[in-house]
Amino acid sequence: MRILVTGGCGFIGSNFIRHMLRKYPDYEIINLDKLTYAGNPDNLRDVENNKNYEFIRGDICDSKIVGKIVLKVDAIINFAAESHVDNSIRSSREFIQTNVLGTLNLLEFARVNKIKKFLQISTDEVYGSIDKGSFSEDSLVKPSSPYSASKASAELLVMSYVVTHRFPAIISRSSNNYGPCQYPEKIIPLFITNLLEGKKIPLYGDGKNVRDWIHVQDNCEAIDFIFHNGKIGEIYNIGGGTEKENIEVAKFLLGEFDKSESFIEFVEDRKGHDRRYALNCEKLRKLGWKPKVNFDKGLKETVKWYVKNKDWWKRLKK
């Protein structure tokens, strides 16, 4: 099988490509990435000479590039997205361009060329916030930020193609990822790298916002599982089953670096900040998938990765 992976130089995309090349030696992967600030070719240096891997620098909004690549592939897995909520609040236009119009461009070329399968990578943030209980795949979509609104819009486009064109698409919605190669604007790598630099860690509001955390390797295995076993036209939640308040994560990391709570700096809360995310993942578990990585162990290993790879993240924080 030949698969187009878009946004493959990003955090989750690069881990996914590495996973697929290792697990399926007869698969070929074409990685299309625009290499915006969060797309880092260093994430895949170890596989760039793999005979089954090809990197193409380009934008999913570019019809000429996408049109040529889609002719050569059997399936598409779309990771490409602007993803930082803070950036979407400051300027939303790029999020609509890439996340909505870029997805539409991929869908149309995939439809015309009769692609066998299209997997849209989405987020639990499309649901918005929930005080009690958890979201199932049938829950109301109620995004709170321009970022999550753009991802929800992309999902609606995908599902419209499923209904209108009988298009072979599936959607995954994952909870917060952590692990190696995550750009240091996100909360866990930001806190780790700040502490390595002797700086304080900025915590929004009262730090009581709750997120469900999943290790990136678990997410990649779940995406692989959905790609091969998921039902066309369905949506699947991917969660780690580990809900933590942001302040709990901060204190855990302080302990790893033997730092006091004086290193926490409470800052003005983000506009429209969702209070709690929680996913019901029974649908995927009934198919046979479940997460493997313990959060505490995974977070300790993530800390070690950033300690060992200072050159990687220091270039990004300049």
Q: Which residue has the tokens 């969660």?
A: 239
pLDDT at 40: 94
Kindly state the DSSP code that residue 72 receives in the 8-state scheme.
Answer: T
CATH code assigned to 182-211+242-275+295-317: 3.90.25.10
245 is catalytic: no
C-alpha 6: how far from its chain's center?
12
155 is catalytic: no
Strand partners, 266: 203
Beta strands in the chain (DSSP E): 2-6, 28-33, 53-57, 75-78, 117-123, 169-174, 176-178, 201-204, 210-215, 235-238, 243-245, 264-267
CA dist., res. 169 & res. 157, Å (int): 11
Helices (H), 84-232: 85-90, 93-95, 103-112, 146-165, 187-196, 216-229
Domain ranges across the chain: 2-177+215-238, 182-211+242-275+295-317
pTM across the whole model: 0.96
pLDDT tens-place string over residues 158-185: 999 999 999 999 999 999 999 999 999 9
pLDDT over threshold 90, residue 318: no
125 is catalytic: yes
Q: Which of 28, 82, 125, 155 is catalytic?
A: 125
* Superfamily designation of domain 2-177+215-238: NAD(P)-binding Rossmann-like Domain (3.40.50.720)
Instruction: Give yes or no on whether 2-177+215-238 and 182-211+242-275+295-317 have one common fold.
Output: no
Query: CB neighbours of 160 closer than 8 A, spacing ≥ 6?
Result: none
